[in-house]
Amino acid sequence: MDTVRSSQPRLANIVPYDPKYLPADEYLSANENPRNVPEALRQEISEEISAVALNRYPDPLGNELRDMIAQANGLTRDWVILGNGGDELLFNIALAWGGPGRTMLNVPPAFSVYEANAYLTGTDVVNVARTDTFDVDEDAVINRVSQGDIDYVILTSPNNPTGKVISEDFVERLLEATDALVMIDEAYSEFSRCTVLPLLKKHKNLVILHTFSKAYSLAGVRLGYIFAHPEVITEFIKVRQPYSVDAVSQAIACVVYRNRAVFEQEIDEIIAERDLLLERLRSLDGVEAFDSDANFVLVRLEGADEIWQKLYDKGVLVRDFSHAPMLENCLRVSIGTPEENRIFFDTLKEILQQR
């Protein structure tokens, strides 16, 4: 057959996710930790990997790592589930709480994956936009969920790509106002030094997403996890692929999680570098730099797409959001090493001076 019948009609409108990860000298586009896992840990990882029985299926639920994460947070394993990156768990919430006839509440500008997963699973999306300063319109969100038709909500704290945390008081108010499942995506919480985890035991409708991809230098490994009430975790287990987290990833993440204290100093450095970069950006005419509690900063400047290109021509890759809804003339810059941040800033300054 030299022809194939068409895929399901919804796919006709989908453009595959493109992280625009182009070759560059300075990678400041994907919010990764700029440093690889420290050498001593990589040594330990190599030893652990060589002991993995590659011919055997992995533990489907990764219980060794699951126990470690649960215990470190005063929980038992039934409050935790691992995923193939946080991304798998974002897909799984749409599979388990979305679907035809069901509705997600989204608070844009937000991580585009939320809406893409809703669309793929036939879930309706209700958007309650953030304000001009990218704060959550708290009353509008509460009013909207109070109508009773929302099945799940995803809120990002700190938000990607805008940077700020949401208040714990608001999260609690939201959890009281609805029985919808409320996911707080805390992919960047290590850089904000705060989490809504203390609310977990009181609210069965709370789910909290964390990942090894950002602070813990494992974007290449694909490991994320959620905290939620055991009844919620059971529903996530029903929709997951049984072996989504492979044995090698489990072994690597166990070493990193056991040694997570080693990363604290780097996290502190990234936080300090973020605050320094914000201050320096604010000294430039025509650059608006938004507050950030994450490992990136969002800037707004005239002609952002041209500036993106000029930065890229000089080897500096940042993320261009200038054509995304609500993010006109915005670029997102990940915090790199002090050297990379200096190169980014000097290059930007030079480009702006030449205009």
Ligand X SMILES: *Cc1c(COP(=O)(O)O)cnc(C)c1O
Cα torsion 267, 268, 271, 276: sign: negative
Which residues have C-beta within 8 Å of that of residue 236, sequence separation ≥ 6?
Answer: 81, 89, 92, 93, 96, 226, 228
Per-residue tokens: 277: 């970069």
Query: Is 87 among the residues that bind ligand X (CB under 6 A)?
Result: yes
Least distance (Å) between residue 78 CB and ligand X: 22
Query: Is 293 among the residues that bind ligand X (CB under 6 A)?
Result: no
Please, where are the H alpha helices in 98-222?
A: 112-120, 138-145, 168-177, 189-192
Contact segment (CB under 6 A) with ligand X among 67-75, 85-93, 311-319, 337-345 equals 85-93
Q: Which of residues 325-354 bind ligand X (CB under 6 A)?
A: none
Query: Is 85 among the residues that bind ligand X (CB under 6 A)?
Result: yes
With CB under 6 A as the rule, give the number of residues binding ligand X.
Answer: 14
Which CB, 245 or 351, lies closer to ligand X? 245
Q: Please report, for residues 89, 176, 307, 328, the alpha-carbon distance to residue 300 in angstroms, rounded to integers and kept in the order given.
A: 31, 36, 11, 8
Contact segment (CB under 6 A) with ligand X among 141-149, 164-172, 193-201, 206-214 equals 206-214
Contact segment (CB under 6 A) with ligand X among 121-129, 211-219, 227-235, 273-281 equals 211-219
Four-point Cα dihedral 74, 78, 83, 87, nearest 10 = -80
Buried b (16+ CB within 10 A) or exposed e, 167-188: eeebbbebbeebebbbbbbbbb
Q: Please report, for residues 24, 272, 318, the alpha-carbon distance to residue 34 in angstroms, rounded to integers and kept in the order given.
A: 14, 14, 13
What spatial distance separates the first Cα and last Cα of the chain, rounded to whole Å?
Answer: 57
Which CB, 158 or 280, lies closer to ligand X? 158
Composition of the chain by helix, strand, coil, percent to 5: 40, 15, 45
Which CB, 222 or 280, lies closer to ligand X? 222
Which CB, 89 or 307, lies closer to ligand X? 89
Contact segment (CB under 6 A) with ligand X among 34-42, 163-171, 207-215, 241-249 equals 207-215
Which CB, 26 or 185, lies closer to ligand X? 185
Which CB, 92 or 347, lies closer to ligand X? 92
Q: Which of 126, 140, 219, 324 binds ligand X (CB under 6 A)?
A: 219
Query: Is 224 among the residues that bind ligand X (CB under 6 A)?
Result: yes
| Amino acid residing at 90 | L
Which CB, 33 or 347, lies closer to ligand X? 33
Contact segment (CB under 6 A) with ligand X among 58-66, 72-80, 212-220, 268-276 equals 212-220
Q: Which of 156, 219, 215, 224 lies closest to 191 in space, CA to CA?
A: 215
Q: Which of 103, 117, 160, 205 binds ligand X (CB under 6 A)?
A: 160
d(CA 252, CA 37): 10
Per-residue tokens: 122: 């036939």
Which CB, 180 or 209, lies closer to ligand X? 209
Look-up of token digits 């450095």? 269
Please, where are the H alpha helices in 8-129?
A: 39-50, 63-72, 85-97, 112-120
Query: Is 111 among the residues that bind ligand X (CB under 6 A)?
Result: yes
The site string for ligand X over 3-32 (x = CB under 6 A, - otherwise) reads: ----------------------------x-
Q: Which residues bind ligand X (CB under 6 A)?
A: 31, 85-87, 111, 156, 160, 185, 187, 211, 213-214, 219, 224
